[in-house]
Amino acid sequence: MGRLFHIPGIFFLFAAFVLLFLVSISLPYLTALDFARVHFDGGKVTSGNDSNALTELRFGTWADCWYESSGDRVCSSAGNAYSVTVHSSNSSDSITIGSAWTRGLAIHPVAAGVTLIAFLLSLSSHITLRLFASLAAFLAGTIAFIAFLVDIALYAYVKSEVGKLDDVDAHTDTAPGFWMTFVSFILLFLAGGTVCFGRRRDRMAGATNYPMASSKFSRSWRDRFTRS
């Protein structure tokens, strides 16, 4: 009976691992899996030392990528805690998304690693290992939730800073990596609950029931105080 809950838990863990693994690769390798995107609709905007006008700016786990008006894509060198500077050509305004706001994105691979451990433990039929799998799933869910909070903070800060550029028509949106992290931490908490509940059902099913002694051999309370 416990397998009815254990098997969905394994599926949840596997799905969460795939999502977090892809998000952990992210930019500059998987350019579609970013966390925040800035679309520049008007005004000439440049990034860093690149003098070409930008149409879009994306923030990933290890780097940022921008799309030039010519259609070319350019990504910064891969590394943790990168920074992005955007200049407005119509004025002297510029903004910088510092490394303090991108450093925390490295927690996504940590969540993916703990999720993998939970998934491998969940494959065992041993009750103790499945308990550890449930605990690891809850731990991974907590880490993924923290990663999602980091994503929210980055998105909110980017949106706020971009709005400070004068004469620039821009809007900031959440990206696929943002929502993949959201789904992953929900799956991890579901997995932790289902694996734990399935383990409990199996443990109860395997418990030995000791029947009470037959009443014909029991003595009344009076007999206990009466000599035979």
At 178, which CATH number? 1.20.140.150
Q: Using 50, 70 and 90 to split pLDDT, how confident is the model at 143? A: very high
Closest CA to 65 of 184, 182, 175: 175
Indicate whether 216 belongs to any domain.
no
106 or 6, higher pLDDT: 106
Q: Which residue has the higher pLDDT, 11 or 3?
A: 11
pLDDT of 130: 81
* Structural domain total, the chain: 1
How far is 105 from 127, CA to CA, in rounded Å? 35
Per DSSP (E only), the strands in 20-112 are 36-42, 45-47, 54-59, 64-68, 73-75, 84-88, 94-97
Cβ 13 vs Cβ 119: under 8 Å: yes
228: in domain: no
Q: Tens digits of per-residue pLDDT, 41-53?
A: 866 888 877 788 8
Domain of residue 182: give its range: 3-205
